[in-house]
Amino acid sequence: MTPASAYRPGREIARGGMGAVLDARDQKLGRSVAMKVMLRPNASAEEQQRFLQEARVLGQLAHPNIVPIHDLGTDERGRLFYTMKLVQGVTLHELLHKLKAGDRETLAKYPLPTLLTVFQKVCDAVAFAHSQGIIHRDLKPQNIMVGEFGEVLVMDWGLAKLLPGSTASAALTAPMPGTGPTGTLLMERGTPARSGDGPGGALGNATPMAAGARCGPEGRAPVDRETLPSAGEQATVVSTPDTAGGESGAVSTPLVFTGAETPPTPQLSGTQLTLDGTVMGTPNYMSPEQADGRVTDLDERSDVYSLGGVLYALLTLRPPVEGKDVSELLNQVLRGDIIPPTLATRGRPLPHLPDGAVPDALSAVAMKALALNRDARYRSAAELARDIAAYQGGFATAAERAGTLTQLRLFIRRHQGLSAAAAVMVLLTAFFISRLSSARDVAEANADRAERNADTAKRNEAKAKASEQEARQAAENLRRENARANINLADAALLAGDLPGMVAALERCPEDLRDQPWGYLNAKRDESLGELKVPGFGLPVAVAAVPGRPGEFALANAGGDIAFIASASGKLLRRFATGLRGYLQLGFSDDGSVLGVTSGNRRRVELFDAATGARRGAVELAGNSGLHFALNHDGARLVAITGTGKPAPLSMACQLYDTGTGRPQWAKACEGAFSSALIHPDGTRVLLAGNGNRRFWWLLDAADGTELARVPVFPVLQTLSRDGRRLAIGTPTGELVVVNPLTGAVLQRARLHTGQLAGAAWLGNLLLTLGTDGSFTQQRWVFRLWDGELLTPRGSFFGVKQGVFAPGWSASENGELLTSERPPHRWSFPVSREVATMFSEVSEQAWGGVFVASNAVVARKHFGLARYAVDQGRFTELPGTPAWDSFQLAASHPASGQFALARKIGDEPSEVKLYRGADGPLTEQAALTLPGRAHHLAFDRAGERLAVTHRDGTLEVFATRDGRSQFRLAGGYSQAVFGAGTNLFALEVRPGGNPPEHRLVRIDTIAGQPRGNSRSEVPLTSLAIAPDGALLAFGSTDRRVYVLRANDFSTGWVFRAHEADVGAVAFHPRLPVIATGSVDGSVKLWTYRDLRRPLATFLGLGGAPVTLSFNPAGTLLFVDGQERTSRVYEVAHLTVPAAKREP
């Protein structure tokens, strides 16, 4: 589309219920054009689509008597317009008004033959439109323009209808590139924003589509071609006269739309307004089928009726029906109460007619076209035009059904200059004419009947084809709706942990409708990374993660060999033999230095150096069998559960050994069963879990085995967090209890699975569990990730091999996991991947932070900000940093070494400070005083300007050199980013609606004024722009990310990204990659070259990310938000696929 700045609007020429026509100047070509502009500033998407359809219809109709369209675009305030040929002249309505008033000049210039020629041209235009499958539906004298030099143009095709199966229908309803059933386009292409300097660039208003709008075959909202805009919704276009030097490149004055009730040009009477709703057209000229709202009955003959009305007005200087209100008009139309023109003008001579009376032949033509029964009208506009041509040529019209004498009279009149001899010949042939006349009438009647039958058959065939097409379209719409419903059902099943339900719903979606959201869900069917094949260890008997060595695992085979492997690569790191056989049990010290191994129920635990495989000794266990053991943090002590050998009831003992001497330090025996025992990392506690007939968990003093506390629970497993602060105890009913392992106090308890709970492991601050969900007969194993403090869900992971018993597994602290299946299966849960973290004991929320250099960030410090170096896994505060205790927002321009800080909370007035010296000595270059607190900051691409959005919705731009305000805009702005050239893009929320209106606004930074906008039907939560300024990205509450081309707001990519609202987005500085953060506690990296799976995922955040910031090299990603921890991730090794063709 073209921006309105290419045109300078002038005076208003005409108006209707939906648009006004202006005299405008084409700045590029230096010509005058007519510009039609939408009147309503808040036009609905449907009204905008109708306006666009009118332009597209005109684009299909290349005919001398149909106004040609030149251009399509939006004005500076985002209102649609199109330009067309400007014809200097008057409407036929005005011309007839002048004839009625007796204007001598008009009477001399437009005698009846000239008026009939005008009418013939109108019929020619309408006939051409009909040949293309388009009917006008609002033909009337007001929509016919008569030029100064004889031009005749049919105007205002806003109510045009496309006939099913026609050429125009195929062209205008051709599917646009769309999405799958869930990928409704939020925004469509608007007008381009130029990246050059000056205010010439303009960004148009994109056509919004509601998230829940009905979708056509390609996922776009279809135009309802049967509903019209309200006639009562009028507006006035006030245009400013040309200023001096108007032919120069100066910016044209924007169109101002007001609610003025007195228009500058004459309006039609109330009974001649275009109707709204299912009754379409102008009552004075509409056909009975239109007046009755029978939309499906409308065809070419409906336009023929309106043409008859125009002819009637041309003859009588009045419409065919008149009344005091619309209801009376419609009733007359439906009854066919039309007085023939010859009678309507009797006793009232009209100056534009020969002898002041309507010729009988023309009266018959008009009444035939105005017949109540469609079948009695002319079959086509061309046939009507032929009758007018016959009259003009002196021949009888078909409508008057002329007799012999009439035919003879017309024949003589056509040949008034004949000689006497020729006259005699004429008299001699009169007899033959009379004889042939009756025969001709019979032949014509028969031909007419045959032609009508053929027409009826043709129309029936067309209706059948249209019905078939509509049925196919309805079936396709239903198919797409079903696909969308199934994807929604799959989504709900995923949230409920119902894998069979999710799979079944996905499988019901047709293959050709499986879009990105379908692929997003389908990828969750099996999130394992496949089998891990290590020669000699394809049938492992035990698997254990090596503590302190993320991603490293030990595998044991039945021959007693131990293999240490890196799970990510499958690389064998080392192996050694233990000399044991059978089913082995493995246990590491907490520091990973010592490996204990026992076999079956042996009473001996062998100890090995985990790094070399060297044997370090053994511990002989008391009792008749060893059932379980665990080492302390350095392997110096070992706790074991053994059988005592006493007869039933079952008796077991818990014993603590010194591994250096092999001697027990104490033993605790009981009648019952123990399931597991652990030694706390600080060495002061032993954590003992009971079993079915001893349903307790005990806390023992590691010095002597004294009971310190007990919790009544049925424990089947226990797992201790690596920091020793929390212990999770699982029960067979799916419940999990979290206790303080030093005091035994219960911290939290919840039922995490509806069925069994078979395993648990701490992954940093998150808890991973394996359990079953669903009914007893349909239980399926599933991994679930939980917030370690609140036990709220963070994700479900399907793909575990199903069976009665769960597979054994062990998880490394970096989220890597191996099962003891045969062969083992590898999993990766993307947690604890940070290269640096910083925990705040004071602040529970971060509002902003940013990389200011490759290894330096501005991040929170208590309730303020500080500069930190990120190195060797730590945040180290840089020296020379001022006290920024009252600042919470930050933005940076690393290329120039600048960064800005602002207050988001605290007292008002507030301030913004600008600094240079990102990771070295600091220089304060400006301090800006704000009337209120800031909400968002952004530098332009050159670092010369800073955009500040205020908490009250104001947007202000400052010069960074001296801190001066360049412009200030009031509104509901929340975020803003600079684009290329003079473009600034901002998110704006306009209250008042339900829900409020969310918009993307383009602002010209030279003029300091908005130049266009796109509306969104879903709330937009975050905004980012690509480094080259070509793309804009938005997060939204519908869990999707929208990527638009910044030059025209056209949709590039829309993709499902998360399980909850997307609250933060950021572009990678060098790669086609977008980082997204969500309320679901995850951060993901996506490439828009392949949106099937994220390139990387980071889980484990304690709250929603608020800020995402890449360092300038794109190797690190800073994340902070609604939690106590600031995090930095390493992202240097992203693998981005080769470029594909853009959509």
CB atoms within 10 A of CB 1068: 21
Out of 124, 138, 1038, 1061, which one is annotated catalytic?
138
Q: Are 353 and 311 in contact (CB under 8 A)?
A: no
Q: What is the mean pLDDT of residues 29-49?
A: 80
Range picked from 215-229, 246-260, 1129-1143 for highest mean pLDDT: 1129-1143
Specify the DSSP element, H or E, that contains 311.
helix 300-316
β 144-147/152-154 pair status: antiparallel
What is the DSSP-derived secondary structure letter of residue 1056? E
Residue 105's φ and ψ, nearest 5 degrees, are: -65, -40
- Measured CA to CA, the distance from residue 68 to residue 90 in angstroms comes to 17
- The helix/strand/coil state of 452 is helix
The helices-and-strands tally (H runs, E runs) of the chain is 15, 68
In this predicted structure, which of 251-260, 506-515, 705-714, 872-881 has the lowest mean pLDDT? 251-260
Its sign, for the CA torsion 481, 482, 483, 489, is positive
Label residue 805 by pLDDT band (50, 70, 90): confident
What pTM does this model have?
0.65
- Whether a cis peptide bond, with omega within 30° of 0, leads into 283 is no
625 Cβ contact partners less than 8 Å away, ≥ 6 residues apart: 601, 602, 603, 642, 643
**430 has a pLDDT exceeding 60:** no
Residue 432's pLDDT is what? 57
pLDDT value for 402? 64
Whether 138 is catalytic: yes
Centre a 10 Å sphere on the Cβ of residue 281 and count the other Cβ atoms it contains: 24
- Quick one: pLDDT at residue 125? 94
What residues does 596 pair with on adjacent strands?
587, 607
What architecture does CATH give domain 716-808? Beta Barrel (2.40)
Q: In the sheet where 571-577 sits, what is the strand order? A: 542-545, 552-556, 561-566, 571-577
Whole-number Å distance between alpha carbons of 702 and 403: 126
User: What stretch of H or E contains 1065?
Assistant: strand 1062-1067
Residues listed for the chain: 1143
Q: Is the peptide bond before 823 cis (omega within 30 degrees of 0)?
A: yes
> And the tokens for 853?
């250099």
pLDDT at 237 (0 to 100): 24
Nearest to 749 by CA among 714, 776, 801: 714
- DSSP state string for 970-1038: -S-EEEEEE-STTEEEEEEEETTSSSPEEEEEEEETTTTEEEEEEEESS-EEEEEE-TTS-EEEEEETT
Stretch 1058-1083: mean pLDDT, rounded?
95
Residue pair 746/739 in contact (Cβ under 8 Å)? The answer is yes
* Farthest CA pair distance, the chain: 152
SS3 content of the chain, % helix, strand, coil (to 5): 20, 35, 45
Output the average pLDDT for the chain. 83
What gap in Å lies between CA 636 and CA 661, rounded to an integer?
10
- Each residue of 855-886: pLDDT tens digit? 999 999 988 999 999 988 899 999 988 889 88
Helix 381-392 crosses helix 112-131 at what angle (to 10 degrees)?
160
pLDDT at 232 over 50: no
Long-range contacts of 689-692, Cβ-Cβ distance < 8 Å, separation of 24 or more:
689/715, 689/716, 689/717, 689/718, 689/729, 690/714, 690/715, 691/715, 691/716
Q: Could you give the residue ranges of the DSSP H alpha helices within 528-681?
A: none
Categorize the per-residue pLDDT at 207 as very low, low, confident or very high, splitting at 50, 70 and 90. very low
The C-alpha angle with vertex 385 and arms to 133 and 279, in degrees rounded to 5, equals: 50
SS3 for 93? helix
Give 37-42 contacts, CB < 8 A, sequence gap 24+. 37/9, 37/75, 37/79, 37/80, 37/81, 37/237, 37/255, 38/79, 38/80, 38/81, 39/15, 39/233, 39/234, 39/235, 39/237, 39/257, 40/229, 40/233, 40/235, 40/257, 41/77, 41/79, 41/235, 41/257
CB 992: neighbour CB atoms within 10 A? 7
CA 122, 123, 125: angle at the middle one, nearest 5?
65
- pLDDT, one tens digit per residue, over 520-569 is 999 988 899 999 999 999 999 999 999 999 999 999 999 999 999 999 99
**How far apart, in whole angstroms, are the C-alpha atoms of residue 50 and residue 226?**
10
Q: For 967, which DSSP code?
A: E
Segment 389-400, tens digit of pLDDT: 989 988 888 888
Residue 731 identity (one-letter amino acid): T
Region of poorest pLDDT, from 34-38, 173-177, 542-546, 571-575: 173-177
